[in-house]
Amino acid sequence: MTVEIIAIGGYEEVGKNMSAVKINDDVVIFDMGIHLDRVHVHEDTDIARMHSLDLIERGVIPDDTLMREVNGKVRAIVFTHGHLDHIGAVAKLAHRYNAPIIGTPYTIALIERIIKSERKFKVPNRLEVLNAGEKCQLSPDMTLEFINATHSIPQSVIAALHTPEGIIVYGLDFKFDDHQIISPPPDYHRLKELGRKGVLALIVETTRVADSEEVKTPSEKVARIILEDIMKRPLEEKSAMIVTTFSSHIERIQAISDIAKK
């Protein structure tokens, strides 16, 4: 039995994440994201109407043409959370694979919106919901498990692919945060269990890890304290305040709303 990990996009770059894992003749794809910087460069272009090959040439989405050289059946397209650098290319690429799209309820809802806004391709793939703590059988030799994680977007998970050769863990993106308002703490217990069983491969993001002396991303609890400190005096003096952030940063938006009400 052979195991292959195919790095399609997101390696040595921030964005357009896409990987594939091949066990014998079974293949699982993880993520189909866009490169946000490239989108900003071409923001005058209606991406929803563009062909995938044009977007690949511009560096906006992963170049999945190399999958033509991979002999095997794609069993699933798996998404661990709903940020655009992980799901943004789903409407451009997923239709090429006769496989279901799997994600948590919130992630699937975001994917549905992307598919509805697509103007170039029809996306016939079945959408399947898998909650954190649940498993699903992808093939006789593959079982997918979602493990609860925390991130700046709700219902983020770490994916564990159970195979006869061992467990392959896909952890993009996450942070260990025990103090979020919306999301429960990460499932450390299950991660430790998988570690004791033995992980064959860990695919994990390391964005800016070499550019900072910090060893851990601060909790959203810290961010809330800083936000309140910044917002308190202006809100006492004025009746309104304009605050900008990522639309998908639900945890931060909730904190801003709570502070404003307070």
Residues 113 and 152 in one domain: yes
Over the chain (262 residues), the average pLDDT of each successive run of 10 is: 91 90 96 82 71 88 93 96 93 96 98 93 96 97 96 94 96 88 94 96 81 74 92 83 86 91 85
Instruction: Identify the pLDDT of residue 217.
Output: 79
Euclidean distance between CA atoms 170 and 202, whole angstroms: 6
Residues 241 and 149 in one domain: no
Closest CA to 27 of 163, 150, 203, 231: 163
Determine, yes or no, domain membership for 213: no
Element (H, E) at 73: strand 73-78
Residues 47 and 114 in one domain: yes
Which CATH number fits the domain that encloses residue 59?
3.60.15.10
Euclidean distance between CA atoms 121 and 117, whole angstroms: 10
Residue 172 and residue 136 in contact, taking contact as beta carbons nearer than 8 Å: no
Whether cis (ω within 30° of 0) applies to the bond prior to 173 is: yes
Residues 14 and 105 in one domain: yes
Determine, yes or no, domain membership for 40: yes
Residues 182 and 228 in one domain: no
Provide the domain limits for residue 76. 3-204
Residues 23 and 101 in one domain: yes
Residues 253 and 144 in one domain: no
Euclidean distance between CA atoms 100 and 74, whole angstroms: 9
Neighbours of 185 (CB within 10 A): 13
Instruction: Identify the pLDDT of residue 257.
Output: 92
User: What is the number of structural domains in the chain?
Assistant: 2
